[in-house]
A and B are shown apart, each in its own frame.
Chain A
Amino acid sequence: MIDIHVNGQARRVAVGSTVSELLAELDLSGRTVVVELNRQIIRRTEIEAMVIESGDRIELVHFVGGG
């Protein structure tokens, strides 16, 4: 297992996990969620191949109500 941060919270994932596997684990597959990995936006087409490394900081964002 490796240690990462997701939306500011510490989390452990299996070595070699991809971003799309993390989204599935969090029940976020198929939703309009934008992924930022270490401040770089990950395009939808890249999330399956993108392997998470130890210490990565991941932000998962979506649209909420606002003015």
Chain B
Amino acid sequence: MDPLIIADRTFASRLIVGTGKYPDPTTMLDAIRASGADMVTVAVRRVDIENPDRDDILRTLDPEEFALLPNTAGCYSAEEAIRFARLGRASGMSDWVKLEVIGDQETLLPDTEGLLVATRTLVAEGFVVLAYTNDDLVTALRLEDAGAAAVMPLVSPIGSGLGLLNPLNIRIIKSRLTVPVIVDAGVGTASDACATMEQGVDGILMNTALAQADDPVQMATAMRLAVDAGRRAYLAGRMPKREWAVPSSPVDGIPG
């Protein structure tokens, strides 16, 4: 498959995966490997002082094997998101950030105003910003103008698994942006991933669809194949849709 290029980095896989909500660390690692992803998202949280090993993702993930993409999940203002991004970078492991500024607790839809403010600040500080946003073209264009290295529209709400609700918006965003468009959030199963990639987007970021599948490793394999299939179908260029049947076999030479 043709590689994914974001900022100055090339990724073999067009699938980026999250590391949250897996039943156990071994299943997570097996699933990530089965997905073929070379970049994974991680969250920044307090160390449990009584039990520092608890939740420490670096006990399971080798940063040499996977590029780490720290997120700002759980942030409800530009200021908080900027703080979390700086904390992630201070680890010395990545100056990339998956920027989330959430505007509503129930839908987890983005606060696009805060998102733009945080993007401008972080880009000025030298961060490579991948911005989680809704499927709105105008916000996507403004994020690109603000210096985002990739724009990441949802196809449906985070963790909903509802799939590709508005393919038109995703296609419009992809057709108008120069930076990569990575769909982030909403994909529930392999057909969603395939259909999303068929819109021409550059990649998909997913977490819950793998972590909460009955068999995360099997689903990760399915997603890897679906992203690949969708990408290839997009590159191949689908046949036009028609309202009526057109025979596949010759209409001439039918024996009398």
Contacts and interface: CB of A to CB of B under 8 A. Distances in A.
Interface of A: 6-9, 26-28, 31-34, 36, 39, 41, 43-44, 59-67
Contacts of A59: 46
Q: Which 3 A-B pairs have the closest CB atoms?
A: A66-B43, A67-B18, A67-B207
B220 to A, nearest CB: 14
A32 B61 CA distance: 13
A26 B49 CA distance: 7
Nearest to B210: A67
B193 to A, nearest CB: 15
B90 A65 contact: no
Given A64-B56, A67-B18, A33 B86 contact: no
A29 to B, nearest CB: 11
Nearest to A26: B49
A9 B46 CA distance: 12
Counting chain B CB atoms within 10 Å of each CB, the highest count among A32, A39, A43 belongs to A32
B176 interface: no
Given A66-B42, A67-B158, 8 more contacts: A32-B93, A41-B90, A63-B93, A65-B19, A65-B57, A66-B19, A66-B20, A67-B207
